[in-house]
Amino acid sequence: MWLKIAAWGGLVFLHFPIFIILMYAFNTEESAFSFPPKGFTLHWFSVAFAREDVLEAIGLSLQIACIATAIAMVLGTLAAAALYRRDFFGKQSITLMMILPIALPGIITGLALLSAFKSIGLEPGVLTIVIGHATFCVVIVFNNVVARFRRTSHSLIEASMDLGADGWQTFRYVMLPNLSSALLAGGMLAFALSFDELIVTTFTAGHEQPLPLWLLNQLTRPRDVPVTNVVALMVMLVTMIPVLLAYLITRGGDDVAGSGK
């Protein structure tokens, strides 16, 4: 009983700030600290989405997240295909290097990327943000795809080859259908992670202002608190929905063809 109480208490503690932002996003008062809320309104949503700076920040974050996710899906899938079955010298080191960008604290990753960009004369901007996000998004895709590779029987590939299929046909008609849900889930998680990434973005953004940096700058503008709450709520929805969908897609992964069923 005490363990259940502690678990539910932890969940409430973690989600209480989200509830506060949700509540004040619909508050009629401009003050963020008037409790209880004075009324219910959708006015701040129209104000937020009529502001050009909000739309530009959202558009930039969507662009960066989409490009970083596409790069991560290609590189993560190729890395998983190369590492999931073969044993060779240095395999564990390569696997560790794949995981390091997301295992290290964000400030370490951000500083390392900034130093690397400065050393080659690449000025911070959209390109450096995309590269920075892709480094840790690759890990998400890699973990999802390599797990699915390991649950897919190699006999499916051998049967395809016995029937005369070449490597591309085997990948397209045999492996890709088995990997599709893992790729979709990995892409969704990578997109969600990239869309609201703050620490690495701070070091690699330069003069660009994606949505996380816009929200950070809004903390110094108390008169914009209602608009900030609305945008923060939208960010949470954009990041939570892909995570939930990814969970729903992959929770039946043991039923995949070739997993021993």
* DSSP per-residue letters across 75-108: HHHHHHHHHSS---TTHHHHHHHHHHHHHS-HHH
99 and 3 belong to one structural domain? no
Q: Are 156 and 258 in contact (CB under 8 A)?
A: yes
- The single-letter code of the amino acid at 94 is I
CB atoms within 10 A of CB 64: 25
List the Cα angle 99/211/201 in 5-degree steps: 35
Q: State whether 156 and 123 are in the same domain.
A: yes
CB 75 within 8 A of CB 138: yes
Which helix (H) or strand (E) segment holds residue 71: the answer is helix 52-83
Number of compact structural domains in the chain: 2
The answer to the question of residue 260 being in a domain is no
- What is the rounded CA–CA span in Å between residue 178 and residue 123? 41
The CATH number for 248's domain is: 1.10.3720.10
Statement: residue 69 has pLDDT above 90? yes
- For residue 67, the Cα-to-chain-centroid distance in whole angstroms is 12
Tell me if 46 is assigned to some domain: no
User: What does the mean pLDDT of the chain come to?
Assistant: 82
Confidence label for 222 from pLDDT (cuts 50, 70 and 90): low
Write the DSSP symbol of residue 172.
Answer: I
First-to-last C-alpha distance (Å) of the chain: 37
According to the model, what pLDDT value does residue 33 have? Answer: 59
109 and 172 housed in the same domain: yes
In terms of domains, do 118 and 95 share one?
yes
Determine, yes or no, domain membership for 214: yes
Are 23 and 137 members of one domain? no
Predicted local confidence at residue 35, as pLDDT: 65
**Whether residue 23 sits in one domain with residue 143:** no
- Note the pLDDT of residue 257: 43
- 151, 103: one domain: yes
Q: Which tokens hold the place of 115?
A: 């130093």
Residue 87 shares a structural domain with residue 116 = yes
> Residue 261: inside a domain, yes or no?
no
Distance CA 70, CA 243 (A): 17
With cut-offs at 50, 70 and 90, classify the pLDDT of residue 248. Answer: confident
CB 232 within 8 Å of CB 125? no
161 C-beta neighbours (distance < 10 Å), count: 14
Strand segments (E) across the chain: none
| 200-to-107, 186, 196 alpha-carbon distances in Å | 7, 20, 10
pLDDT in tens, 8-55: 999 999 888 888 888 877 777 666 556 666 777 788 888 888 888 888
Residues 239 and 159 in one domain: yes
CB 116, CB 124: distance < 8 Å = no
Task: Give residue 14's domain range.
Answer: 1-41
Check pLDDT > 80 for residue 225: no
Q: Are residues 4 and 61 in the same domain?
A: no
Convert the pLDDT of each residue in 170-220 to its tens digit: 888 888 888 888 888 888 889 888 988 888 999 988 888 888 888 888 877
Peptide bond into 105 cis (omega under 30): no
Same structural domain, 4 and 80: no
Residue whose pair of structure tokens reads 């699915």 in the numeric block: 148
pLDDT in tens, 99-134: 888 888 888 888 889 899 999 988 888 999 999 999
pTM here is 0.79
Same-domain pairing of 130 and 59: yes
pLDDT of residue 127: 92
What is the per-residue pLDDT for 32?
56
C-beta atoms surrounding 101 within 10 Å: 21
Residue 197 lies in a domain: yes
